[in-house]
Amino acid sequence: MRFVWIIINAAIWTSFFGLIGIFASLFESNKGKILGHCAKLWGKFILFFTGVKYSVNGLENLDSKGCYIFACNHASGYDIPLAFAGLPYWLISIAKIELKSIFILGWVMNTAGHIFVDRKRSDNALAALEKSKKSLIKNPRSILLFPEGTRTLDGNLGTFKKGGLMLSVDTGIPIVPVGLVGTYGMLKKGTWTFKNQPLEIRVGHPINPKIFSNKNKNDLAKNIKNEVEALLNREDEN
């Protein structure tokens, strides 16, 4: 029953904040910003109404008025509302194209300017990232990115893909490694079991993209993975 409520809760707030945001965005000059605020409230309401408590550590590492590419581990469906709720920035995400076809959600995400990537077709994915690069240069925003590309099945950090991370090199937007702690144990991929427990967002230090280039982009992915892994393993020190 708890899992059913999670689904219903997500559907309710996705529809509520999505439709309000789309209507309000008709009257804004900076398209997508209102929907960005709605996404934060969406994440907070989903967590609150499922009784999930969370904390955020490391925001002092960032400029409150800056733009960043937040590179996070992906362990659970709760990663997304947690990130939107806890990171106080105008966020758009790099998401799988399958989400675009979901009723209301796809409409809202497209209107908000989220980046859809077809993981099965590399040519389409590259074209989407190129289009996004031009948009970000023209209208800087922060990006929520899960470089693994999918949720982990065993709780271990997977290989980080370089595509989305290269937006940092192309746009000059710093990458911030982020560790999302506790979400894997709460709701694992492919299960119906929900285990409520406190969650934590661990924010690392921004990484200047100028130290990387197209020639060493593989090093960029490895570097970011190591930084995220260090943030996650910090738990073992407590």
Q: How far apart (Å, rounded) are the C-alpha atoms in residues 148 and 105? A: 22
The residues spanned by each domain of the chain are 53-237
The pTM is what? 0.89
The topology under which CATH files domain 53-237 is Glycerol-3-phosphate (1)-acyltransferase (3.40.1130)
Tens digits of pLDDT across the chain (238 residues): 677 888 899 999 999 999 999 999 888 877 788 999 999 999 999 999 999 999 999 999 999 999 999 999 999 999 999 999 999 999 999 888 888 888 889 889 988 888 888 766 666 767 777 777 777 777 788 999 999 988 999 889 999 988 888 888 888 899 999 999 999 999 888 777 888 999 999 999 999 888 876 656 678 889 999 999 999 998 544 4
**Sheet arrangement for strand 142-145:** 54-57, 199-203, 175-181, 69-72, 142-145, 91-96, 115-117
Q: pLDDT tens digits, residue range 65-112? A: 999 999 999 999 999 999 999 999 999 998 888 888 888 898 899 888
Q: How far apart (Å, rounded) are the C-alpha atoms in residues 77 and 189? A: 8
Is there a contact between 217 and 169 (Cβ–Cβ < 8 Å)?
yes
Whole-number percent of the chain with pLDDT over 90: 53
Q: Are strands 175-181 and 199-203 parallel, antiparallel or unpaired?
A: antiparallel
Q: pLDDT tens digits, residue range 45-70? A: 999 999 999 999 999 999 999 999 99
